[in-house]
Chain A
Amino acid sequence: MFEKSLTDLIQGLRANKRNETAYIQKSLEEIQSEVQSSDTNVKSTAIDKLNYLHMLGYDMNWANFNVVEVMAASRFSEKRSGYLAATQSFHQETDVLMLTTNLIRKDLASANVMEVSVALDGLAQITTLELSMDLFDDVLAVLGHSRPYIRKKALICLYKLVLKYPEGLHAFVPQLKERLDDPDPSVISAAVTVICELAHSNPRNYLPLAPKLYHLLNTLTNNWILIKIVKLFASLASIEPRLAKKIHGPLSQLVCTTTAMSLLYECIHTAIVADVISVPVPIVDSIGREVEFADLCARKLTLLYESPDQNVRYVGLVALSLMQQKRPDLASIHFEPILKYLDDPDQSIRMRALEAISGIVTRKNLSKTVKRLMSQLILSNTIALQPEHSAGSLFDKSSVNSDASSLDTPLLDSNGTTFASARGAIISPRKANSAASDPADNPEYRLAAIEAIVDMCTRNSYSNLANFEWYVATLVDLVYVASVDVGKLLSAKLLDVTVRVRQVREFSIKMGRSLLSDSQLMSQIAADSSQAPIVTTAAYILGEYCMLLPANADDVGFLLPESLPRFSPDQQSTFIQAAMKTYTNWLKDSSEYWNSDIWESVRSVTSTTLSKLSELIYTEDVNVTAAGSNAGGLESAFALLPLQMNSQLRHFIEILKAVSMATSNLSESAPHICQELHSLFTAFELNPVSAAAQGKVPMPDGLDLDSFIGDAIPDTTLTVIPPSPPPHVVRSHRSGSMGQPRRHNSSRNKNDPFYLGSSAKDGGDRNFDDLPDVDDIPVVALDLSHIGSTKLVDNAKKSKKKKSKKDKSRPETHSKRHRRRKAKSPSPSPPIAPVEIAGDEDMIDDSEDGMVIAGQQQQTVSAAEQLAATTSERSIVDNPGGDNIGKNEGHRSA
């Protein structure tokens, strides 16, 4: 059988470009038989070929065992193929790895240096916990090899082993220390490399090595190792600040003399991180002058970031942004040069410049910087809407065609060393395209730019800020230009500045009002859109500080926008709360110059607001509408609202009712309620409190925050639909718009098995207009029911205790009676349970029983009573016995 060599395969692949897949398939089949061959040469060639195909993306894990066979081959070139294939294709969980232990051990002990080397290379790459444990001692033994080439590799291999097997560190570290004295520089280099990596995560262990490393720092000349040592000192100085003074000398010497940018950068980096720049010892620079090290670093930094080479410029900016964190005083002189990098075409450079500049900015140049960033954001915003350059253009025809020639292009030009000219020789056809794309279109950059703007304005409690109104206006502008998700950030900052800076509050209100009155913005907003949080904050501010400006009835309208149902429940409740505050504030203002026109407008605003709120309740959820059609109307709609909105809405509606009642006739002077309502919200001023303030309040004795202060809260996810009121309490008024969709839903829900509705005995569709009108809800009912529910807890508790004993002796009496009643019960009515069954276990989860029992009370129940009952319907169902309250209330209103 004729076997293909690796070269044959590669040539074949190139010759069969058109049907490459078929060719590879055929080759794979050949390889499959070749790896079974008894000839190790054939086998290793097959593995080589397979390895090549693996690089093209084909699976080779099926040949794992054969790879191990080739690793064990006696000929070096074959063995090497095996190890190469293993390092390329084995993973941590490859099962044949456990078969390799002995063969690697044998290779490590080989007399052939190259075999040891290949084994070390391979092991370092493929090692697992088991291999590390088993072979640790073998590799440690190799560390004493006569050849530096092997000692060096063994050091790095051991580092990889202890990553998997940290217990090995105890034996490894002393050896590692010894290797720092190795006669061969490359072994020292490897030892320093390993210490540098290990010390990065745990510097304390390597602190004792500092004197030796210091010596190396002074004597070595190889820049590669010097970089590692300088980096290592940055780690060590983080736990031992005194080192800063120690390395001041050699470090400043290096900064003065070195011509290698990479070493210069590393030195400045360490000087900043380890705070060597603050050591007050002057140094002598290259021309014999005495200078401060900090000044020298600053000058060298300028050299870095002013470099024509983008790469050097990049690291210069990285170092500068580090410096502004540690020593903002030293960094400020770099402001002007850095500003221009904000417009650099390279996004990485811009990002670094952003990082650097936000700390350099001062009161004087803040607005200039922000203006620059804002103009970037605004100008690019139009471009951002265009589709991006598709990645597909990478594979366009022109570049494919040009490929044929470029395969033969020398990677380095004839000089061999000047990489810049080699790079310039090849001109990418795409260059023009990519240069056209503006980094300011990149969402990542936009986000960073906005964060930088906010950061530089708020830094050190707004110490850079001269004009707060300008800042608030900037925040509001950002809402429009951001086009990335910064809503949370902006809203937090807007709130922060408004609460903390009294002088800016009026302006914040104006800006907030302008946001809320922007119908275009408000119409396209939804809970998950990035503007939602900031609009909500604007609403909060408008509500909280509305008394600072002349009241305006329009505000109430802005705070109840049509898009409100699209906000999240939390946000909605903020809006409603704010609307409540502005409304009452406006009432108060209006009542000061009360006349018939004012009276008219109070009437109209009150009724519009009321209808808006009712709409809000019914559009909240399809189910709410559906529930309304079946039964309790407004109240059942309430029951389905999220908890926090529920109470907000109730309160607001109650207020509106009260006002509309009080202003039903034109009076001489404003009703008291109009004047006094707003004081409900302003009795105590809300002051900004430091986040740490709570910690300063001493904990009262005997305060136990972990124990329950009452009974466990009933599961409110269970929604009980109360039955409809009996026909004789029906109010005639009904708005058609509400009735229609509900009728539709009720028929749809009949077939829905998951729909918890009242059944046919309710009278079905008849009831949708049996609902009490919004206007009929007595304001007082709510409070009483709340009091009721707390009392009920007590009642229920007591009776439960008594009951539990009784029930054991007479388990059936009560429940049987209920069931009989249930059968007789003529029609359902609000769930008002009699006292006698309080605490009965049957009642707790069984709403139907609750309804039925309530049925007996029907005759004495008035409309008001029903409403009071339904208001607290949850507590009644859970704590039967609520009729106490219901009755009292009923009698009173009757």
Chain B
Amino acid sequence: MFLESIRFILVQNRQGKTRLEKWYSDYGEQERQKLKAEVHRTVASRDQKHQSNFVEFYNHRIIYRRYAGLFFCFCVDTNDNELACLEAIHLFVEVLDSYHGNVCELDLVFNFYMVYAVLDEIILAGEIQETSRSVILSRLDQLSNLE
């Protein structure tokens, strides 16, 4: 059985409202709802200052980072490089920030399709495909010019 490196990505706020969800493995609709609730419970209850950003989740691991009121969670296989994944999250947020200019949760709410476009430029089908900020940003400019 082959494995995807990232199983799913969730961005949730502190109340557990989903701001972005991307499923790279085939999860049923009900399973998705269940996972969303469980991820939120797992991650939001953690102590941000004294605990690591990795938490075991079933047979996988959730790598998460909190930015203001938002939790960015990547669910990955246990043999993945956790630190690299954490950097990927930060890259994602950095690109969002550069693109929107001082990004906040409301930007994600109102530009939700752009957020997906940004994510698709960094991660394709569960694999990190581009790690250069400038390349991603120029690609996004190209995209918005098409609209």
Which residues of A line the B interface, CB within 8 A? 6-7, 10, 48, 51-52, 55-57, 59, 61, 76-77, 80-81, 84, 87-88, 91-92, 114, 120-121, 124-125, 149, 152-153, 156-157, 159-160, 163, 186, 189-190, 193-194, 197-198, 200-201, 222, 224, 227, 231, 261-262, 265-266, 310-315, 345-349, 351, 389, 391, 394-395, 399-400, 403, 406-412, 414, 416-417, 419, 422-423, 425-426, 428, 430-431, 434-435
* Contacting residues, chain B, for A266 (C-beta < 8 A): 81, 84
Interface residues of B in 37-87 (CB under 8 A from A): 40-41, 44-56, 65-70, 79, 81-84, 86-87
Q: A114-B142, A312-B83, A345-B51 are in contact. Are A411 and B125 (CB under 8 A)?
A: no
* Contacting residues, chain A, for B49 (C-beta < 8 A): 431
Contact between B70 and A411 (Cβ–Cβ < 8 Å)? yes
Smallest CB separation, B34 vs chain A (Å): 11
* Contacting residues, chain A, for B53 (C-beta < 8 A): 310-311
A-B contact pairs, 8 of them (CB 8 A): A55-B18, A121-B120, A149-B139, A197-B127, A347-B51, A407-B106, A411-B68, A416-B97
Contact between B41 and A394 (Cβ–Cβ < 8 Å)? yes
Other than the given A76-B146, A394-B45, 7 more pairs (CB < 8 A) read: A57-B18, A311-B54, A346-B51, A409-B105, A410-B103, A411-B105, A412-B93
* Contacting residues, chain A, for B65 (C-beta < 8 A): 419, 423
Smallest CB separation, B136 vs chain A (Å): 10
Contact between A403 and B110 (Cβ–Cβ < 8 Å)? no
Smallest CB separation, A123 vs chain B (Å): 9
Contact between A349 and B3 (Cβ–Cβ < 8 Å)? no
Contact between B103 and A10 (Cβ–Cβ < 8 Å)? no
Contact between A197 and B82 (Cβ–Cβ < 8 Å)? no
Contact between A435 and B50 (Cβ–Cβ < 8 Å)? yes
Contact between A153 and B84 (Cβ–Cβ < 8 Å)? no
* Contacting residues, chain B, for A7 (C-beta < 8 A): 110
* Contacting residues, chain A, for B79 (C-beta < 8 A): 200
Per-residue A-contact encoding for B105-123, CB less than 8 Å = 1, 0 else:
1100110110011001000
Contact between B125 and A159 (Cβ–Cβ < 8 Å)? yes
Contact between B131 and A224 (Cβ–Cβ < 8 Å)? yes
Contact between A311 and B83 (Cβ–Cβ < 8 Å)? yes
Contact between A434 and B105 (Cβ–Cβ < 8 Å)? no
Contact between A157 and B81 (Cβ–Cβ < 8 Å)? no
- The residue in chain B whose Cβ has the minimal distance to the Cβ of A436 is B47
Contact between A10 and B45 (Cβ–Cβ < 8 Å)? no
Contact between B129 and A157 (Cβ–Cβ < 8 Å)? no
* Contacting residues, chain B, for A157 (C-beta < 8 A): 124-125
Q: A194-B127, A394-B16 are in contact. Are A431 and B69 (CB under 8 A)?
A: no
Contact between B96 and A434 (Cβ–Cβ < 8 Å)? no
Smallest CB separation, B101 vs chain A (Å): 10
When A and B form their complex, which 9 residue pairs have the shortest distance between CB atoms, in order from nearest? A262-B83, A406-B69, A124-B125, A310-B52, A411-B67, A409-B68, A346-B51, A314-B52, A262-B84
Contact between B50 and A224 (Cβ–Cβ < 8 Å)? no
Q: How many angstroms between the C-alpha atoms of A88 and B29 in the bound complex?
A: 10
* Contacting residues, chain B, for A48 (C-beta < 8 A): 113
Q: How many angstroms between the C-alpha atoms of A222 and B90 in the bound complex?
A: 17
Contact between B102 and A410 (Cβ–Cβ < 8 Å)? yes
Contact between A55 and B112 (Cβ–Cβ < 8 Å)? yes
Which residues of B line the A interface, CB within 8 A? 1-5, 13-22, 24, 26, 28-29, 33, 40-41, 44-56, 65-70, 79, 81-84, 86-87, 90, 93-94, 96-98, 102-106, 109-110, 112-113, 116-117, 120, 124-125, 127-132, 135, 139, 142-143, 146-147
**What is the predominant secondary structure among interface residues of chain B facing chain A?**
mixed
Contact between A346 and B127 (Cβ–Cβ < 8 Å)? no
* Contacting residues, chain B, for A403 (C-beta < 8 A): 13-15, 69
- The residue in chain A whose Cβ has the minimal distance to the Cβ of B41 is A391
Q: How many angstroms between the C-alpha atoms of A735 and B40 in the bound complex?
A: 64
Contact between B41 and A59 (Cβ–Cβ < 8 Å)? no
Q: How many angstroms between the C-alpha atoms of A19 and B17 in the bound complex?
A: 17
Contact between B130 and A186 (Cβ–Cβ < 8 Å)? yes
Contact between B51 and A348 (Cβ–Cβ < 8 Å)? yes
Smallest CB separation, B63 vs chain A (Å): 9
Smallest CB separation, A221 vs chain B (Å): 12
Smallest CB separation, B100 vs chain A (Å): 9
Smallest CB separation, A514 vs chain B (Å): 38
Smallest CB separation, A47 vs chain B (Å): 11
Q: How many angstroms between the C-alpha atoms of A77 and B117 in the bound complex?
A: 11
* Contacting residues, chain A, for B90 (C-beta < 8 A): 419
Q: Which of B55, B87, B104, B143 contacts A410 (CB 8 A)?
A: B104
- The residue in chain A whose Cβ has the minimal distance to the Cβ of B112 is A52
- The residue in chain B whose Cβ has the minimal distance to the Cβ of A425 is B68
Contact between B50 and A345 (Cβ–Cβ < 8 Å)? yes
Q: How many angstroms between the C-alpha atoms of A293 and B123 in the bound complex?
A: 35
Contact between B84 and A399 (Cβ–Cβ < 8 Å)? no
* Contacting residues, chain A, for B13 (C-beta < 8 A): 403, 406-407
Q: Which of B52, B87, B131 contacts A346 (CB 8 A)?
A: B52
Contact between A406 and B48 (Cβ–Cβ < 8 Å)? no
* Contacting residues, chain B, for A76 (C-beta < 8 A): 146-147
Q: A152-B129, A391-B45 are in contact. Are A261 and B83 (CB under 8 A)?
A: yes
Q: How many angstroms between the C-alpha atoms of A224 and B128 in the bound complex?
A: 9
Contact between A190 and B67 (Cβ–Cβ < 8 Å)? no
- The residue in chain B whose Cβ has the minimal distance to the Cβ of A347 is B51
Contact between A59 and B84 (Cβ–Cβ < 8 Å)? no
* Contacting residues, chain A, for B109 (C-beta < 8 A): 10, 407
Q: How many angstroms between the C-alpha atoms of A673 and B96 in the bound complex?
A: 90
Contact between A10 and B110 (Cβ–Cβ < 8 Å)? yes
Contact between A201 and B69 (Cβ–Cβ < 8 Å)? no
Smallest CB separation, B92 vs chain A (Å): 10
Contact between A345 and B69 (Cβ–Cβ < 8 Å)? no
Contact between B127 and A159 (Cβ–Cβ < 8 Å)? yes
Q: How many angstroms between the C-alpha atoms of A530 and B78 in the bound complex?
A: 31
Q: How many angstroms between the C-alpha atoms of A422 and B128 in the bound complex?
A: 25
Smallest CB separation, A460 vs chain B (Å): 27
Smallest CB separation, B42 vs chain A (Å): 10
Contact between B124 and A121 (Cβ–Cβ < 8 Å)? yes
Smallest CB separation, A346 vs chain B (Å): 4
Q: A57-B33, A197-B3, A411-B97 are in contact. Are A114 and B82 (CB under 8 A)?
A: no
Q: How many angstroms between the C-alpha atoms of A51 and B21 in the bound complex?
A: 11
Q: How many angstroms between the C-alpha atoms of A375 and B66 in the bound complex?
A: 34
Contact between A412 and B94 (Cβ–Cβ < 8 Å)? yes
Contact between B52 and A349 (Cβ–Cβ < 8 Å)? yes
* Contacting residues, chain A, for B93 (C-beta < 8 A): 411-412, 419
* Contacting residues, chain A, for B44 (C-beta < 8 A): 394
* Contacting residues, chain B, for A189 (C-beta < 8 A): 129, 131
- The residue in chain A whose Cβ has the minimal distance to the Cβ of B20 is A55
Q: How many angstroms between the C-alpha atoms of A763 and B129 in the bound complex?
A: 87
Contact between B45 and A434 (Cβ–Cβ < 8 Å)? yes
Q: How many angstroms between the C-alpha atoms of A850 and B14 in the bound complex?
A: 76
Q: How many angstroms between the C-alpha atoms of A318 and B129 in the bound complex?
A: 26
* Contacting residues, chain B, for A197 (C-beta < 8 A): 2-5, 127
Q: How many angstroms between the C-alpha atoms of A425 and B125 in the bound complex?
A: 34
Contact between B54 and A152 (Cβ–Cβ < 8 Å)? no
Contact between A77 and B146 (Cβ–Cβ < 8 Å)? yes
Of residues B4, B90, B120, which shows the largest number of chain A Cβ atoms within 10 Å of its Cβ? B120
Contact between B84 and A201 (Cβ–Cβ < 8 Å)? no
- The residue in chain B whose Cβ has the minimal distance to the Cβ of A235 is B79
* Contacting residues, chain A, for B70 (C-beta < 8 A): 411
* Contacting residues, chain B, for A121 (C-beta < 8 A): 120, 124-125
* Contacting residues, chain B, for A414 (C-beta < 8 A): 102
Of residues B28, B66, B81, B132, which shows the largest number of chain A Cβ atoms within 10 Å of its Cβ? B81
- The residue in chain A whose Cβ has the minimal distance to the Cβ of B5 is A197
- The residue in chain B whose Cβ has the minimal distance to the Cβ of A428 is B48
* Contacting residues, chain A, for B1 (C-beta < 8 A): 201
Q: Which of B14, B16, B82, B143 contacts A315 (CB 8 A)?
A: B82
* Contacting residues, chain B, for A163 (C-beta < 8 A): 2
Q: A227-B84, A410-B102 are in contact. Are A186 and B132 (CB under 8 A)?
A: yes
Q: A314-B52, A411-B104 are in contact. Are A399 and B15 (CB under 8 A)?
A: yes
* Contacting residues, chain A, for B147 (C-beta < 8 A): 76-77
* Contacting residues, chain B, for A395 (C-beta < 8 A): 15
Q: How many angstroms between the C-alpha atoms of A414 and B124 in the bound complex?
A: 29
